[in-house]
Amino acid sequence: METNLINSMTIILAVRNVDDTKKSYGTLEVPDTAPICGIYRVNMAYVRCTLTGDTILKKHLLYIEKLLLDDGGEEYAVMSDDRPIEFWRKIPGFKENEE
C-alpha cells in the first residue's frame, strides 16, 4: 500500500504490525503536518485528574517509519508497537481492515 493523498490537509497511512510488516490492521488518516518519519502525537480527550482535579490532555505517541517493500518500493506506515486492535479502534482517523 502506498501513501495516498486525500487532499492538502490529510494523508492516509497503513497501520502495520511491528513484527510482521506485511500484516496491516487498517489505515490511519493523519494531517499532512505529521512527521514523515518519527513520533506523531495523537490528542485523545481532556480528562480530569482524580488526585489533583486538574484537567489534562490524554495523548498517545505513534511512530511513523519508512518501510522497504518486497518489490523494492517504499511505504511510510504507522507501526502498531504490539498494541491490540482495541487500542486502534479508539484512535481518531483509524479505519480497520475489513476481514
- Does residue 7 carry a pLDDT above 60? no
pLDDT of 8: 57
User: Rounded mean pLDDT of 2-24?
Assistant: 78
C-alpha torsion 70→20→31→59, nearest 10:
-160
17-54 tens-digit pLDDT: 988 888 999 999 998 888 889 999 998 888 888 889 89
- Does residue 12 carry a pLDDT above 60? yes
Number of structural domains found in the chain:
1
Domain that holds residue 21: 4-96
Grid cell at residue 84: 491490540
β-bridge mates for residue 56, sequence order: 47
pTM: 0.78
Q: Which of 98, 97, 96 is nearest to 88 (CA)?
A: 96
- Does residue 96 carry a pLDDT above 90? yes
- Does residue 77 carry a pLDDT above 70? yes
3-state secondary structure of 89: helix
Tell me how far apart the alpha carbons of residues 29 and 5 are, in angstroms, rounded to a whole number.
10
Q: What is the mean pLDDT of the chain?
A: 87
User: Rounded mean pLDDT of 55-76?
Assistant: 90
